[in-house]
Amino acid sequence: MNIEKLYDNRFSESEQKTKNEMWKVLCDSFFSKYIPENATVLDPAAGYCEFINNITIKGSGKRIASDLNTEMKDHASPGVETHIASADKLTFVEDNSVDVIFISNFLEHLRSKDEVLSVLTEFKRVLKPGGVFLAMQPNIRFVYNEYWDFFDHYTALSDRSYAEALSLVGGFKLKQMIPKFMPYTTKGGLPVNPFLVKMYLMFRPAWKIMGKQFFAVAVKE
């Protein structure tokens, strides 16, 4: 599949700009609390680098982005280390060397649940003991009517099946699961204005109405 062409067609330049503004708010107002000082943070399916560009690393930490999309490097900010690689073969990362792994809207693009398990196993390898694995994923329990609208969606997961996948891999302890967190897509009812995104994050009752993606925090034991 031509990944570059697919995503160039899916998101216009203005949509990419709007998404980046949204991700800055998400990182500053929510995800940053999961990033310890001096952390090495890995985004192994970085896409347009919205997360890794906007997450702040305090102290002497570093940011690493990888993706199969060769255009990913063009979107990375200065200071972000980049690699073109499959998420189940992170050969450029040493064992037990990463403090935080973050993925968003990634596992649904894998061709099978066996591939999901292979990727999670590779994440376990590179995470330090006590390292944090953050995942935001479409929750098939709440988005089944829209899930297959994207040509590159193959594997459907819910908050419950994802938890089972972690237990199958072993070595992870699920610390937090929010079944309904963010809306499904910026092409739908997602509040993309930075102010509205910030208000949405602060008003948790809205998550139960609009949330169609789960957010999970797991720790490597």
Q: Where are the domains of the chain?
A: 3-220
Considering the chain, what percentage of its residues have pLDDT values greater than 90?
A: 84
Q: Is the pLDDT of residue 154 over 80?
A: yes
**Residue position matching structure tokens 């199958």:** 168
The pLDDT value recorded for residue 41 is 98
Residues belonging to the chain: 221
Mean pLDDT score, 158-176: 98
| Beta-bridge partners for 88 | none
Nearest by Cα to 131 from 94, 159, 160, 164 = 94
The pLDDT value recorded for residue 216 is 98
Mean pLDDT score, 50-64: 96
Q: Is the pLDDT of residue 29 over 60?
A: yes
Query: Using 50, 70 and 90 to split pLDDT, how confident is the model at 14?
Result: low
Considering the chain, what percentage of its residues have pLDDT values greater than 70?
A: 90
Tokens of 10: 């899916």
**Residue position matching structure tokens 């099978």:** 112
Question: With contact defined as beta carbons under 8 Å apart, do 51 and 71 qualify?
Answer: no
> Distance of CA 54 to CAs 2, 111, 131, 188, 216, Å?
27, 29, 20, 23, 20
The fold of 3-220 is Rossmann fold (3.40.50)
